[in-house]
Amino acid sequence: MSLPALFENRLSVPVIAAPMFLASGPSLVTACCKSGVVGTFPALNLRSTEEFESWVIEIKAELQRHTDETGDLPAPFGVNLIAHKTNPRLEADLAICIKHEVPLIITSLGAISDLVDAVHGYGGIVFHDVVNVRHGKKAAATGVDGLIAVAAGAGGHAGDWSPFALVNELRQFFDKTILLSGCLSTGSDVAAAQMMGADLAYMGTRFLGTQECEANENYKQKLLDSSAAGIVYTPAVSGIPANFIRESVEAAGITLADAPKVDLGLELEEARDGKKSDSKPWADIWSAGQGVGSVNDLPTTAELVSRLKAEYHQAHEDQLARVSTLNG
């Protein structure tokens, strides 16, 4: 078990609200942090590095205002950087994170030791997304502080490993923080993630269904109406296997057998700015994980976190009661 010092006495429940393209913004991030959950967002949610910097400034100011008014220290916030060679913004966005000393950096699609050193240089920490042990070993060698085990059924770019297999194998060579990602929806799921060896739960789809999330109303309604059976795992949208709401993929006329070449810079630009086609990945082709069947309401973030907290504690009581019935 290992939790970074940065999180000690800052969390009300061991959860990170995962970064979500075109869905997580300053309202969701600050609501999470004020409720005691780490709030995060992808730098590429903004069109330019200048706009990205303005969000970082806004989030820091709001969290400082909260501390000044209440005396409470909110949970730290984090930024997701896509460390793929096709992301032309990586260097400039990282420079902003260094300038503003963003506490947590989450890297996906590539682990880079220079980036890790730069973040450590100002006292920040780096978690990295992995979908298998090969990626985990490569990332561990760069000195990251945590591995995010993105298991089968997760929203966005997901893996296809069982969470038990992935966490257990990562634990055999990595003794720092391990986060579990994929279909975690309740406080009981958070407790279960820790029970099977993870330190923190990493939740996306459940936070899509909150008031503060920037997903549009049709998307949110579709979350309420969907269940795991309506999710399709396919590389057809971006070239990287990801989970989407099947109906939205079909409505966009995408052939599931296709696997386009990966060009994240282009894909994300088109998604934000709508250059190429009417149906844009992530904006009109909606991602969600298999946990979507547990999203049955659209609470405020504070309500959701308070529910997660109650369920988390109840899960421990229930487990102790089960253990007490065992013989010996």
Quick note: the x/- pattern for ligand FMN over 239-268, rule CB under 6 A, is: ------------------------------
Does 87 engage in binding with ligand FMN (CB under 6 A)? no
Size of the site for ligand FMN (CB under 6 A): 26
Binding status of residue 159 toward ligand FMN by CB under 6 A: no
Give whichever of 127 and 174 is closer to ligand FMN, judged by the CB atom. Answer: 127
Residue partners of 134: CB distance under 8 A and separation at least 6: none
**b/e code 257-290 from CB counts within 10 Å (16+ = b):** eeeeebbbbebbbbbbeeeeeebbbbbbbbbbbb
Q: How many CB atoms lie within 10 A of CB 182?
A: 30
CB 173 within 8 A of CB 140: yes
The reply on whether position 14 binds ligand FMN by CB under 6 A is no
Please, what is the minimum distance in Å from the beta carbon of residue 15 to ligand FMN?
Answer: 10
Bin 109: left if φ > 0, else alpha if -120 < ψ < 50, else beta: left
Cα–Cα distance list, 222 to 86, 218, 282, 286 (Å): 31, 6, 14, 9
Number of Cβ within 10 Å of residue 135's Cβ equals 20
The stretch among 5-13, 168-176, 182-190, 298-306 that binds ligand FMN (CB under 6 A) is: 182-190
19 is a contact residue toward ligand FMN (CB under 6 A): yes
Q: Could you tell me where the DSSP H helices lie in 100-132?
A: 113-121
Gyration radius from the chain CA atoms: 19
What's the min distance (Å) between Cβ of 127 and ligand FMN? 10
155 in contact with ligand FMN (CB under 6 A): yes
Ranked by CB distance to ligand FMN, the top (closest) residue is 204
Pick between residue 42 and residue 72 the one whose CB is nearest to ligand FMN. Answer: 42
* Residues forming the site for ligand FMN (CB under 6 A): 18-21, 23, 42, 80, 108, 129, 150, 154-156, 181-184, 202-205, 208, 287-289, 291
